[in-house]
Amino acid sequence: MILLPNLLPNFLTKLLHRYFSFDSRLTRLPFFIRTLYLNIAWGVLTFANMPLFLNGSRILWWTGVIGVILSLALFGAGLASVFVRRLHDLGFSGYHTIWVLAAELVWTVLSYGPARGILLGLPLLAVDLWLTFWPGNAGANRFGEAPA
C-alpha cells in the first residue's frame, strides 16, 4: 500500500513520455504498437460517449460532443507525437508530420467511399506503409542515438 503513491506518478510520467513526447526516435515495432494502442483508446473513449448521444437530453448530448472533441484532441496529440518520433528515426524533421497526417486523413476519408475513391487513395496508403515498414537510420542522426 505504501508503494502505490510512489508508483502512480512514475507510471503517469512514463505514459506521458511514451505518448506525448516529441523528442527522441521511435523504431518500427514501437511505432506500430503505439499507433494501435492510440486507435484502440480513441475508439473506446468514443464508444463510451455513445450513451450520452442516445439519451435524448440536450445537456447530455452536448456533454457527449465535448467528450468526443476532448478524446479526439488527446488522440491527435498522441498520434502527432508518435509520427514525429518515427520521422525522427527516418532522419526527417517533425515538420513533415503535417503532410503525413494530411495524407493519413485523406486516405481514411477515401477508404470509406466507392471503389474509385479507394483506388485514388492508394498512394496515400503507401505513405502509411512507408512509415510503418521502412527501416530507420542505423546509427545516430541529428535527433539522437538509434533506439535500442
* Burial of 99 (C-beta count, 10 Å sphere; 0-12/13-18/19+): exposed
The sign of the CA dihedral 22, 42, 129, 121 is negative
Specify if 113 maps to a domain: yes
> What's the pLDDT tens digit per position in 15-44?
888 889 898 899 999 999 999 999 999 889
Question: Looking at the domain assignment, is residue 129 inside a domain?
Answer: yes
Query: Which parts of the chain sit beneath pLDDT 50?
Result: 1
Which pLDDT score is estimated for 27?
93
pLDDT at 82: 94
The domain in which residue 107 lies consists of 26-133
- The pLDDT value given to residue 95: 92
For residue 145, what are the contacts with CB-CB under 8 A and spacing of at least 6?
25
Cα separation, 46 vs 27, whole angstroms: 28
- Say whether 25 sits in a helix, a strand or coil: coil
Total structural domains in the chain? 1
- Give the span between the Cα atoms of 114 and 33, in whole angstroms: 29
- Say if 143 falls within a structural domain: no
